[in-house]
Amino acid sequence: MILEVAILNVKPGRSKMFEADFNVAVQYISSTEGYISHSLQKCIEVDNQYILLVEWTSVEAHEVGFRQSPQYQKWKALLHNYYDPFPQVLHYKAVKKNADAY
pLDDT tens profile 72-102: 999 999 999 999 999 999 999 999 877 665 4
Determine the Cα–Cα distance for residues 37 and 56; give it in Å rounded to an integer: 7
pLDDT on residue 98: 75
Domain residue extents for the chain: 2-93
pLDDT on residue 96: 85
pLDDT on residue 58: 98
Q: Which 8-state DSSP code applies to residue 93?
A: E
Q: Whole-model pTM?
A: 0.92
pLDDT on residue 100: 62
Q: Which of 24, 3, 7 is nearest to 78 (CA)?
A: 24
Q: How far is CA 89 from CA 25, 48, 101, 102, in A?
A: 17, 18, 28, 27
Determine the Cα–Cα distance for residues 88 and 76; give it in Å rounded to an integer: 15
pLDDT digits (tens, 9 = 90+) for 35-72: 999 999 999 999 999 999 999 999 999 999 999 999 99
Class of domain 2-93: alpha beta
